[in-house]
A and B are shown apart, each in its own frame.
Chain A
Amino acid sequence: MLMDFARLGWMRWLLCATAGACTLFLLAPLVLLIALSFDSSPWLQFPPPGWTLQWYAQVFHDPDWLASFITSLEVGSCVTVLSVLLGLLCGFAITRGQFRGREILRGFFLTPMILPSIVLGIALYSAFLWLHIAGSFAGFVIAHLVLALPFSVVAITGALEQTDKSLEDAAMLCGAGLWEARVRVILPAIRHGLFGAALFSFLTSWDEVVVAIFMASPTLQTLPVRMLGELRQDLSPDIAVVSSLLVLATALLMGLAALFQKESAR
């Protein structure tokens, strides 16, 4: 009775009302962001007195927003490449290795996930100040790579565990070296895992803000750091524009992921 929608009786109305309220709670801020980005009043009046595209024009013509966008892309790309490479090597060790403590190693690669970001942020800040690389591009990449690597390791070990190890052995019997077999036979077989690892690594870096605050300098800021700086000053419509674009990008990415899942399920 409780797991059958038609037979819930009076509980069905209660359930629908609460679920509806929760959905509204989750959706309303996102809709508001988009509405505010077209709001003609600079004071974020709602409902808007009129509609305008001037905030979009303002953001697109602002070199600072563009610079932070490009920094985010650059940091994210470097992190993605390094994270997939290191994750792939670690994945081979964890799934194909024959040494003691493999499970401990797997657990160790996940530890950055559970460390509160603020602790990692100031720990790296302290180390980078000492090494004189605070506020540098390399610092950014190192910090975000620490956070992205666990996701890459999880995605790639998962994919490797699902591929038959005998594929690798067969290729080697046919004369391929160990790494030739892994590159030419195993890599194509785990391409979905590699794609997942790359996507999660990029998004981890792209969205990260807490550690990034301590890595940034006035001249080197990722998009979230720039947004946070603006938010601390005032609630300008610029942020509504950037936020709406991010909501749009998220929705597109979700659509892409759904399509991708359908493809790989076939």
Chain B
Amino acid sequence: MADAIAVKGVRAAQAAPPPPAPRRLRNGFAPAVPGLAFLLLCFMLPVLALLLRSLTQPQWGLQNYAALLATSTYANVLFNTFAVAGLVTGISALLGLPLAWFLAVAPRFWSQLVFGIVILSMWTNLLARTYAWMVLLQDTGIINNFLIWTGIIQNPLPLFGTMAGVVIGMVYIMLPFMVLSLRGPLAALDASLFQAASLCGASRVQAFTQVFLPLLAPGLAAGGLIIFVMSLGYYITPSLLGGAQDMMLAELIAQLVQTLLNWGLAGAASFLLLVLTLSLYAVQIRYFSPRRGKEG
């Protein structure tokens, strides 16, 4: 009975006249239209309009880009941006590797506990985390008080309002991303490789530098690239923990819009940030996308 209905259905479908509507409307594209229209109108159009403003304000031309690249204040901002992003990436890799390694090999209870803490810190509100570091890094804050109490230093270290503070606060935010991007590669490591290395007479240090690190290099590079790109455009943490002399690109953009109302220059700086971000993501997709990893 059910078969008969099914056959009838198929026959009915076969016998149905060819669709009268144009083919491109019947191929299932229609449901995407609301979302697509929304993103085109409320995302692409405003961003393109902003980039256009960099060419038209105050008048047509590339004067905003010339100002951005030639003025030493702005060059300094670019240097700070790259310096902070580079330091944050390096330190996150240095701390993230042992932490991810620990998670991969430690007894189940400890690795689950530590992983829970990593995720909890990552999911906690960004402002809550930055607030904690604002308290910790003050001249009379806990870190400085502790270091003075132990006698390591006599005078408080300048942490709050300096690049050091920005780097510490941002490593705190980025470290979980490094741990997460190393989890997959570490789980895929074959433990017997290290037995083989040991049988061939490799010491632990040799096994680490010649087998372990090369195998994890793609994971480190992928995680590092993500952290570097995110750090380049970071706004909140640098603006709360850094001083005026450590301004980064995103802070410059916000200041140009909020206090100087210089939309042309803000558009140019945005375009610069956008090009940097997109080209680094292109590298990411070209060399480190998970699909390629599976093929190779």
Contacts and interface: CB of A to CB of B under 8 A. Distances in A.
Contacts of A123: 46-47, 49-50, 270
A187 interface: no
A32 B129 CA distance: 10
A92 to B, nearest CB: 5
Question: Size band of the A side of the interface?
Answer: 35 or more
B74 interface: no
Interface in A99-133: 99, 105, 108-109, 111-112, 114-127
B127 A1 contact: no
Contacts of A251: 120
A89 B235 contact: no
Interface residue SS majority, chain B? helix
A46 B142 contact: yes
A146 interface: yes
Interface in A46-99: 46, 86-87, 89-90, 92-94, 96-99
A127 B46 contact: yes
A126 B135 contact: no
Interface size grouping (class) on chain B? 35 or more
Interface string A132-157: 00000000001001100100010000
Contacts of A240: 131
A116 B250 contact: yes
B274 A122 contact: no
A3 B207 CA distance: 11
B233 A118 contact: yes
A11 B162 CA distance: 35
B273 interface: yes
Contacts of B114: 19, 23
Interface stretch (B64-72, B82-90, B191-199): B191-199
B99 interface: yes
A194 interface: no
Nearest to A91: B31
B120 A22 contact: no
Contact of A250 (B120, B133, B189, B197): B120
Contacts of A126: 46, 49-50, 53, 263
Contacts of A44: 135
Contacts of B293: none
B191 A3 contact: yes
Interface of B: 5-6, 9-10, 24, 27-32, 34-36, 38-39, 42-43, 45-47, 49-50, 53, 95, 98-99, 101-107, 114, 116-121, 123-136, 142, 172, 175-176, 189, 191, 194-195, 197-198, 204, 207-208, 211-212, 229, 232-233, 235-236, 240, 250, 253-254, 257, 263, 266, 270, 273-274, 277-278, 281
Interface of A: 1-5, 8-11, 14-16, 18-19, 22-23, 25-30, 32-33, 36, 44, 46, 86-87, 89-90, 92-94, 96-99, 105, 108-109, 111-112, 114-127, 142, 145-146, 149, 153, 173-174, 207, 209-210, 213-214, 224, 227-228, 231-232, 235, 239-240, 242-244, 246-247, 250-251, 253-254
21 contacts: A1-B197, A8-B105, A9-B204, A10-B204, A19-B114, A22-B95, A23-B99, A29-B121, A30-B121, A32-B135, A114-B277, A116-B250, A117-B235, A118-B233, A119-B273, A120-B43, A126-B263, A127-B45, A209-B236, A210-B236, A253-B123
